[in-house]
Chain A
Amino acid sequence: MRRLVLVVFALLCAGAAAQAPRGAPLVERSWLPLARDGVHDPRSPAIGLLQEPGSALSALPADTAGNQVRWVEALRNGSINPRTSLRPEAQVRLLDSDIYMDRYGSVPVVRFPHREHTLWLDCGNCHERLFKSQTGANNISMLRILQGEQCGQCHGAVAFPLTECSRCHNTPRATLNRAPAARQGANVP
């Protein structure tokens, strides 16, 4: 069974790599018009007034899954600049540390970047209800993620979907072993 999981994992990663060579422009993206997306009522008078997803998203950095937008990149390169607060006095908290999760020898290590998350989210969206802020204290498992818990609360709903295995399982164990100091929640500039 374990082997089957690994084969599936390898296939998915290979598939993803084949679809999206790094840096290369993606050939074709398309978005369903609202009238045919199955959720909007085609007879609603709002069709024609609401913005079509393709008209906004096609201008943003390309991805193969989810919204077909690489949201992290869109924020980084300034193609979007969403507001961080409605009130000027609201406190904005950022954290710039990576956490390496390597409790399972069978899959590539997960590097969880606080930076990319806290640009979008507040600490309170994850701590302490979803995750205790203590390395290794959360017993994170793929099954629970796939059921919509832990990382799966956002990934699979709004943030990039769980089909993108290698975006989380992003660090080959070999590279990690060479830098043991960076293993556990070390600060990365």
Chain B
Amino acid sequence: MTGRALAGAALLVLAALTPSAACAEYGDVLLNRYSDQGGVRPVVFPHWFHRIRFRCKVCHDQLGFEMRAGANDVRMSDIIEGRFCGMCHNNDIAWGAERCDLCHSGRPGLKSGVYGGHQTTGPGRW
């Protein structure tokens, strides 16, 4: 660990402090592994909305979501069959898979990943 690297890192954090023009709500995850190809808008998953209702452990422990943007290989068929988002979006715990637009609301062409204000994370993000 060199002091130089650390100082660089600290400066990058400083840079991150200045707000950028377009920033999603902190913790929003965009899923676009298949959406663009499939001709639908990419999916926006809002952490802020879900964490008001569920603790992290519900999704990341009990339901088995990997804690890494892009690490879960989610297909639409999975959701309809009750896996991933479909474990709740099943017209029981939450509204169901037929409400396409509520999930597929992202800007076409955006890359998968976590978006949001003071983001610093992700391997290779810097």
Beta-carbon contact of B22 and A37 below 8 Å: yes
Interface size on B, residues (CB 8 A): 68
Shortest beta-carbon distance, B110 to chain A, in Å?
Answer: 7
Q: Enumerate chain A residues within 8 angstroms of B122, measured Cβ to Cβ.
A: 148, 157
Q: Enumerate chain B residues within 8 angstroms of A90, measured Cβ to Cβ.
A: 62
Q: Select one of A47, A125, A146 contacting B56, CB under 8 A.
A: A125
Partner-contacting stretch, out of A49-57, A166-174, A181-189:
A49-57
CA distance A84 to B59 in the complex (A): 10
CA distance A121 to B61 in the complex (A): 8
Q: Select one of B4, B10, B41 contacting A8, CB under 8 A.
A: B10
Judge whether B39 is part of the interface by a CB distance below 8 angstroms.
no
> A69-102 vs B: 1/0 string, CB under 8 Å?
1010000000010111111001010000000000
CA distance A92 to B54 in the complex (A): 13
Interface residues of A in 121-146 (CB under 8 A from B): 121-122, 124-125, 141-143, 146
Beta-carbon contact of B105 and A41 below 8 Å: yes
Beta-carbon contact of A38 and B17 below 8 Å: no
Q: Is the contact region of chain A dominated by helix, strand, or loop, or is it mixed?
A: loop
Q: Select one of B9, B17, B48, B69 contacting A57, CB under 8 A.
A: B48
CA distance A125 to B57 in the complex (A): 8
Given pairs A46-B104, A161-B16, 16 additional interface contacts (CB within 8 A): A2-B6, A4-B7, A34-B105, A36-B22, A38-B21, A38-B22, A38-B115, A46-B101, A69-B48, A71-B51, A84-B58, A125-B67, A143-B5, A157-B121, A158-B27, A163-B16
Judge whether A112 is part of the interface by a CB distance below 8 angstroms.
no
Of all chain A residues, the one with the shortest Cβ separation from B19 is A32
Which of A36, A37, A57 has the most chain B CB atoms inside 10 A of its CB? A37
- Known: A90-B62, A143-B9. Is A84-B55 also a contact (CB below 8 A)? yes
Interface size on A, residues (CB 8 A): 62
Q: Enumerate chain A residues within 8 angstroms of B104, measured Cβ to Cβ.
A: 44, 46
Q: Enumerate chain B residues within 8 angstroms of A142, measured Cβ to Cβ.
A: 6, 9
Task: Give B residues with C-beta under 8 Å from A.
Answer: 1-7, 9-14, 16-17, 21-28, 30, 41, 44, 46-49, 51-58, 60-63, 67-69, 87-88, 93, 101-102, 104-108, 110, 114-123, 125-126
Shortest beta-carbon distance, B112 to chain A, in Å?
Answer: 12
Beta-carbon contact of B51 and A82 below 8 Å: yes
CA distance A12 to B48 in the complex (A): 25
Beta-carbon contact of A157 and B105 below 8 Å: no
Q: Enumerate chain A residues within 8 angstroms of B21, measured Cβ to Cβ.
A: 38
- Known: A83-B53, A125-B67. Is A50-B102 also a contact (CB below 8 A)? yes
CA distance A156 to B12 in the complex (A): 13
User: Can you give 9 A-B contacts (C-beta < 8 A)?
Assistant: A36-B22, A53-B49, A65-B117, A86-B88, A120-B55, A149-B123, A154-B67, A156-B120, A158-B27
